[in-house]
């Protein structure tokens, strides 16, 4: 999707435009954040069913002192009720983003120092009740900057399409259908590239600076109606990349180590069209306890600035099933979101058609695949990945931090992964397979808000991941 300020001329002019756009996006983010903390209008206050204004927020409305949430009586005409998330009135706190802190908004300041990027700082803000729409909208804002010039300014927005009030208090939200938008400017000084193929050596590591401007829209729709088994995906986004030498100490820059691939990818603009369809019986899109899914998605480039065309085609699937609880009783059938231990299995196969820059090719390693390796450790035109994960709760009822802030539960995960890359689908069976395994920490504030930290191990050492949401 074209964005004002993009250039397809000489790299020098493009870089200046990118930095100016980054500054503009940073100022725009500041404006949005200022609006988030403005006092909410009186009309946004919660009204009780007896129509009296309730000026004091009660965090236990619809909940028990232990954190247990009794199952609510849902409307009789609600389609596929098991696929709607009930949010009690106590989880819908009125007020601005700071008044709702750690209930429906989260602020994470960052201060760090790394030799390659310098002294840096920033802030990550997540608001799961953006504009006080009774949990219908989400906004994430992310800002970081370092003394060496690494920057990130990004906005992510989502609105769920199906949302209903419960007469006794609270709301239900169908997770499967939504509209989303995202965009930003990012300048990363330490992206890695090891070359193409499954046999690249760790000592082949190179680094490059990647300056990216992007904006996109996406929609997911459950079919034939809310809660349906079929989910269609359609998205459109635009990106522009400027590449330069990397800043990782002790390794060569990618422009010297892989000059042909680097030159082909530098200064490239592209429009991406994403289309997908999956069959999904899982009981949750964010933290499933049972069910399975299988799907296909195509991420195609109908336009690239060099005139070429390309696409990544992906087939994937997963299954989740309950297992006997290890450190708790498992809750009861009259409870919303009882503590549930599970085993999850997943697979994914990717292949490329046409021509794409090296940073758009299928890769393994990092946040979601082969978590024991650094991000993008293995890259090529095709890949496969398989994973098994045992997820179990060790503090099933969580704990209260303040009167209004509560951690729902805390758990651990054990995982093992296999995968490889190859020049084509036909070469995948012959390619060397790589493995990683590890342990993770899971902190759940509610079913749709899970934070994870994974420590992965491989034959090249360890890799630490901190992320929002499960890896699959």
What pLDDT, on the 0 to 100 scale, is given for residue 79?
93
Please report whether residue 2 resides in a domain: no
- Mean pLDDT, to the nearest integer, of 430-448? 95
Instruction: Provide the 10 A C-beta neighbour count for residue 225.
Output: 12
| CATH number for the domain that contains residue 137 | 2.40.160.50
Residue 41 pLDDT:
38
Q: How far is C-alpha 348 from the geometric centre of its chain's CA atoms?
A: 17
- pLDDT tens for each residue of 375-414: 999 999 999 999 999 999 999 999 988 888 889 999 999 9
Question: What number is the average pLDDT over the span 15-42?
Answer: 44
State mean pLDDT over 86-90: 93
Q: What is the pLDDT of residues 141-163, one digit of tens each?
A: 999 999 999 999 999 999 999 99
pLDDT at 3 over 90: no
> Residue 113: pLDDT above 90?
no
Q: Is residue 5 part of a domain?
A: no
Map 75-129 to HEC letters: CCCCCCHHHEEEECHHHCCCCCCCCCECCCEEEEEEEEEECCCEEEEEEEEEECC
- Token duo for residue 179: 């509209």
Q: What is the pLDDT of residues 202-231, one digit of tens each?
A: 999 999 999 999 999 999 999 999 999 999
Give me 188's structure tokens.
């990363």
Mean pLDDT of the chain: 88
- Number of domains composing the chain: 1
Is 4 domain-assigned?
A: no
Q: What is the mean pLDDT of residues 281-295?
A: 96
Residue 224 preceded by cis peptide, ω within 30: yes
pLDDT for residue 248 is more than 60: yes
For residue 288, pLDDT over 50 is answered with: yes
Residues 6+ apart with CB under 8 A from 165: 134, 171
Range of the domain at 199: 11-468
86 falls within a domain: yes
Share of the chain above pLDDT 70, in %: 88
Give pLDDT tens digits for 272-284: 999 999 999 999 9
Tell me if 459 is assigned to some domain: yes
Please state, for a pLDDT cut of 90, what percent of the chain lies above it.
75
- pTM for the full predicted model: 0.85
Report, as an integer, the average pLDDT of 287-300: 97
Assigned domain for 385 exists: yes
Asked if residue 40 belongs to a domain, the reply is yes
Residue 403's pLDDT is 83
User: By mean pLDDT, which of 13-17, 314-318, 431-435 is the weakest?
Assistant: 13-17
Average pLDDT rounded to a whole number, residues 122-134 = 93
For residue 46, is pLDDT > 50?
A: no
pLDDT score of 110:
81
What's the mean pLDDT in 274-302? 97
pLDDT band at 17 (very low <50, low <70, confident <90, very high): very low
**Looking at residues 114-130, what average pLDDT do you find?**
89
DSSP for 8-48 reads -S-HHHHHHHHHHHHHHHHHHHHHHHHHHTSPPPGGGS-B-
Specify if 341 maps to a domain.
Answer: yes
């Amino acid at each position: 999707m074209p964005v004002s300020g993009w250039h397809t001329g000489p790299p020098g002019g493009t870089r200046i435009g990118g930095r100016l756009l980054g500054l503009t996006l940073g100022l725009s983010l500041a404006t949005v954040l200022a609006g988030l903390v403005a006092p909410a209008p009186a009309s946004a206050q919660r009204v009780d069913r007896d129509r009296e204004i309730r000026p004091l927020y009660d965090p236990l409305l619809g909940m028990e002192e232990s954190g247990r949430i009794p199952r609510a009586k849902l409307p009789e005409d609600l389609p596929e009720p098991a696929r709607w998330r009930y949010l009690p009135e106590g989880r819908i706190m009125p007020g601005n983003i700071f008044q709702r802190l750690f209930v429906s908004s989260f602020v994470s300041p960052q201060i760090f120092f790394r030799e390659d990027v310098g002294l840096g700082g920033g802030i990550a803000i997540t608001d799961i009740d953006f504009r006080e729409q009774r949990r219908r909208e989400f906004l994430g804002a992310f800002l970081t900057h370092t003394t060496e010039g690494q920057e990130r300014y990004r906005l992510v927005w989502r609105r769920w399409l199906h949302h209903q009030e419960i007469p006794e208090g609270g709301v239900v939200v169908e997770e499967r259908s939504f509209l989303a938008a995202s965009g930003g400017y990012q300048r990363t000084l330490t992206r890695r590239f090891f070359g193409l193929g499954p046999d690249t050596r760790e000592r082949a590591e190179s680094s490059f600076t990647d300056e990216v401007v992007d904006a996109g829209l996406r929609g997911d729709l459950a079919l034939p109606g809310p809660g349906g088994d079929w989910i269609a995906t359609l998205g459109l986004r635009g990106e522009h990349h400027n590449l330069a030498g990397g800043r990782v100490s002790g390794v060569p820059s990618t422009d010297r180590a892989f000059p042909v691939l680097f030159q082909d990818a530098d200064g490239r603009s592209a429009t991406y069209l994403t289309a997908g369809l999956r069959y999904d019986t899982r009981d949750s899109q964010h933290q499933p306890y049972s069910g399975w899914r299988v799907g296909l998605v195509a991420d195609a480039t109908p336009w690239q600035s060099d005139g070429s065309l390309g696409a990544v085609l992906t087939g994937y699937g997963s299954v989740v099933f309950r297992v006997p609880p290890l450190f708790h009783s498992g809750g009861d059938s009259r409870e919303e979101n009882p503590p549930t231990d599970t085993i999850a299995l997943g697979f994914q196969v990717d292949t490329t058609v046409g021509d794409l820059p090296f940073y758009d090719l299928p890769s393994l390693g990092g946040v979601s695949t082969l978590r024991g390796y650094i991000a993008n450790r293995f890259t090529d035109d095709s890949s496969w990945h398989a994973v098994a994960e045992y997820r179990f709760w060790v503090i099933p009822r969580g704990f209260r931090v303040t009167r209004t802030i509560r951690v729902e539960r805390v758990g651990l995960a054990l995982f093992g992964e296999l995968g490889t890359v190859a020049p084509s689908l036909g070469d995948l069976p012959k390619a060397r397979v790589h493995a990683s395994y590890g342990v993770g920490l899971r902190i759940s504030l509610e079913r749709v808000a899970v934070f994870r930290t994974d420590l992965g191990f491989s034959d090249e050492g360890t890799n630490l991941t901190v992320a929002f949401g499960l890896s699959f």
